[in-house]
Structure formats: structure tokens, C-alpha cells
């Protein structure tokens, strides 16, 4: 059994991999990376009803990995580059071996995958941290679940300026509904639900367009989205809109929110099989 662990700033994810198949996924919260990794490993063993001696390796990745040694609770630990983990997971989960893989975390990373070649292509500081920060500033909401619930009843019509608002209809191939300016038409009677939806739309459209540019630059047609933001209910609709507008295919595979931990484990699994 291989345990993949992704140590983030506030959340640590862990997955269990047996014979190349995902057996379980868990998350824990802890500030200290070593405490977080040990806690994730312990919670995973409890979830599986397994013992530590059943774990052959730990594949660790994420921003906190540098704080770990070469063993965790006596188990050999292998550190896997985060971009390698992201790219490996995107290809494994989607079944697509030529794509831009996007990690939608606190910020956003773009990883180019072309067969066995995986490389960091770029990124943006716009991500989940942006969404939470603006949500707290504008709405005094600091929890994603509360923000997405609020957004369920929102409308972009009182917040965003569209192509149709400017031209009266479609313009040069752009549909009237296309966004001309995020937050470019804030009405006095815009509700908190409208603002919540517009914030999600702003962040997701920005990430989607960035990913589209990366795909076009590499002559790719597929973009795989991973990371915690993919679990937001409104993300799919926003991203599908970007895909239709620019003729690219977006994919959100199962377990996308645990992708980096999965990628670390799969990378080590494949390496050990060679």
C-alpha cells in the first residue's frame, strides 16, 4: 500500500493506493506540517482499519513537504515534486495524456502534460485565496460553503457588464451573454446573493481564460481541472461557458479535489513498477 499525502497551508489530504487503485481519501486540518502528515496517516489507518506495517511507502507533496524527513512514523517517505503530482493526477484521473492540468487551490498552477512529459507552464495568484479574501471583504463571509450557499439564489445581471449591455446584441462572434467586465455594472439593489455569485464567476472565469490561453499556446484542446475549488457547485456552469466561448474542452474528473495527493502516490507507484 502507498499513502499519498498533500500538505497544504491549512488542509492536508491523504489517499490510500493499493495495486494502483484508490482505496480511501481523507482530509485533516493542522498548522504544523509534521503534525498534519502524521495526523493524516493516522486517520487513514483508522479509516481503513489497517496497521502501519501494511504501508510500504508514503509519497509526500505540497508546500509543507520540505519540513519532513525521509521517514514518517518509521515508514519510508518519498518526496514528489508538486507539479509532477498535479500533472500525473490530471492524466490519471481524466484518462487524457495531452492537456493543460489546472490546480485550483489558494492560487492557481498550470501544468503542461504531453505523454510522459510534465512541466510547469505558469499560473496566477487568482484562486481560492482570492475568492475567500474578497468574500470576507465584500460580504463578511469567510467560509466557502456559506458563500456557495448564498450564491445559489444570485444573479449576475445586477453585477456583471455583458457584451449585450454594450452593443445591444452579439458582437463580432461574441454572444450577447459574454462577460465584458466583471463587476462592471453593479446596481444599487444588487443583493448579497448576486455579489456571492459574481465573486465565484470572477475567479472561475479568470482561471478558465488563463487555462484556455495555455491550451492554445500548446495547441491542446483539453483542460483538466483539479483542486478544492472544483467542488464548488457553480464552477461547472461557469467553466462550461468559458469552454463553449473559446472552443476548448474542460474536464473535472472524479476525485479532482484530492488530485495532488493522488498524483504523488501514482507517480511513486509507477516508478516502483519500472
Residues 204 and 269 in one domain: no
Residues 124 and 71 in one domain: no
How does pLDDT run across 102-161, given as a tens digit for each residue?
A: 999 999 999 999 999 999 999 999 999 999 999 999 999 999 999 999 999 999 999 999
Residues 204 and 231 in one domain: yes
Yes or no: say if 201 and 182 are a contact pair by the CB < 8 Å rule: yes
- pLDDT for residue 31 is more than 80: no
pLDDT of residue 48: 95
pLDDT band at 167 (very low <50, low <70, confident <90, very high): very high
The reply to whether 117 falls in a domain is yes
Residues 40 and 79 in one domain: yes
pLDDT of residue 273: 77
The reply to whether 127 falls in a domain is yes
CATH of the domain at 68: 3.30.420.40
Q: Sign of the C-alpha dihedral, residues 13, 16, 19, 22?
A: negative
How does pLDDT run across 214-255, given as a tens digit for each residue?
A: 999 999 999 999 999 999 999 999 999 999 999 999 999 999
The proportion of the chain whose per-residue pLDDT surpasses 90, expressed as a percent, equals: 93
The reply to whether 164 falls in a domain is no
Number of domains into which the chain is organized: 2
Alpha carbon of 19 to those of 15, 16, 22, 37, 266: distances in Å?
A: 13, 10, 9, 22, 10
Look up the domain containing 141 and give its range.
96-154+191-252
DSSP 8-state symbol, 171: B
217: Cβ contacts below 8 Å, ≥ 6 apart: none
The reply to whether 235 falls in a domain is yes
Yes or no: say if 135 and 198 are a contact pair by the CB < 8 Å rule: no
3 state DSSP class of 242: helix
The reply to whether 238 falls in a domain is yes
Residues 24 and 112 in one domain: no
Residues 199 and 244 in one domain: yes
Phi and psi at 250, nearest 5°, equal: -100, 140
**Helical residues (DSSP H) of 128-190, grouped into ranges:** 128-139, 144-151, 163-167
Residues 123 and 215 in one domain: yes
How does pLDDT run across 62-84, given as a tens digit for each residue?
A: 999 999 999 999 999 999 999 99
Residues 234 and 124 in one domain: yes
pLDDT of residue 228: 92
Alpha carbon of 158 to those of 55, 149, 224, 240, 269: distances in Å?
A: 54, 18, 31, 21, 50
Cell 458582437 maps to which residue? 171
pLDDT of residue 271: 86
pLDDT band at 8 (very low <50, low <70, confident <90, very high): confident
Residues 100 and 208 in one domain: yes
pLDDT of residue 11: 87
The reply to whether 21 falls in a domain is yes
Residues 141 and 265 in one domain: no
Measured distance CA(138)–CA(124) in Å, rounded: 22
The reply to whether 185 falls in a domain is no
Alpha carbon of 225 to those of 29, 43, 56, 103, 104: distances in Å?
A: 23, 27, 30, 6, 7
Residues 39 and 14 in one domain: yes
pLDDT band at 207 (very low <50, low <70, confident <90, very high): very high
237: Cβ contacts below 8 Å, ≥ 6 apart: none
Residues 210 and 110 in one domain: yes
The reply to whether 91 falls in a domain is no
The string over 224-258, giving b where at least 16 C-beta atoms fall within 10 Å of a residue's C-beta and e elsewhere, is bbbbbbbebebbeebbebbbebeebebbbbebbbb
Measured distance CA(90)–CA(100) in Å, rounded: 9
Amino acid at each position: 500500500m502507498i499513502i499519498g499525502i498533500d500538505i497544504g497551508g491549512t488542509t492536508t489530504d491523504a489517499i490510500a493506493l493499493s495495486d494502483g487503485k484508490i482505496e480511501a481519501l481523507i482530509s485533516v486540518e493542522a498548522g504544523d506540517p509534521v503534525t498534519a502528515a502524521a495526523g493524516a496517516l493516522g486517520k487513514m489507518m483508522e479509516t481503513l482499519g489497517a496497521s502501519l506495517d501494511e504501508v510500504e511507502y508514503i509519497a509526500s507533496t505540497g508546500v509543507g513537504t520540505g519540513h519532513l524527513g525521509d521517514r514518517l512514523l518509521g515508514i519510508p517517505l518519498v518526496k514528489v515534486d508538486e507539479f509532477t503530482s498535479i500533472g500525473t493526477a490530471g492524466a490519471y484521473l481524466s484518462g487524457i495524456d495531452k492537456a493543460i492540468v489546472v490546480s485550483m487551490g489558494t492560487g492557481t498552477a498550470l501544468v503542461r502534460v504531453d505523454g510522459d512529459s510534465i512541466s510547469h507552464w505558469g499560473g496566477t495568484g487568482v484562486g481560492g485565496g482570492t475568492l475567500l479574501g474578497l468574500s470576507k471583504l465584500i460580504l463578511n463571509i469567510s467560509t466557502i460553503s456559506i458563500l456557495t450557499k448564498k450564491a445559489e439564489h444570485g444573479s449576475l445581471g445586477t453585477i456583471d457588464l455583458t457584451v449585450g449591455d454594450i452593443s445591444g446584441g452579439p458582437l463580432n462572434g461574441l454572444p450577447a451573454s459574454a462577460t465584458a467586465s466583471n463587476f462592471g455594472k453593479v446596481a444599487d439593489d444588487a443583493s448579497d446573493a448576486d455579489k456571492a455569485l459574481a465573486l465565484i464567476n470572477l475567479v472561475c472565469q479568470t482561471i478558465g481564460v488563463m487555462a484556455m490561453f495555455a491550451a492554445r499556446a500548446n495547441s491542446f484542446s483539453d483542460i483538466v481541472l483539479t483542486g478544492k475549488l472544483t467542488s464548488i457547485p457553480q464552477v461547472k456552469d461557469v467553466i462550461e461557458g468559458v469552454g463553449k466561448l473559446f472552443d476548448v474542452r474542460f474536464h473535472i474528473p472524479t476525485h479532482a479535489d484530492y488530485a495532488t495527493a493522488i498524483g504523488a502516490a501514482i507517480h511513486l507507484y509507477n516508478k516502483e513498477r519500472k
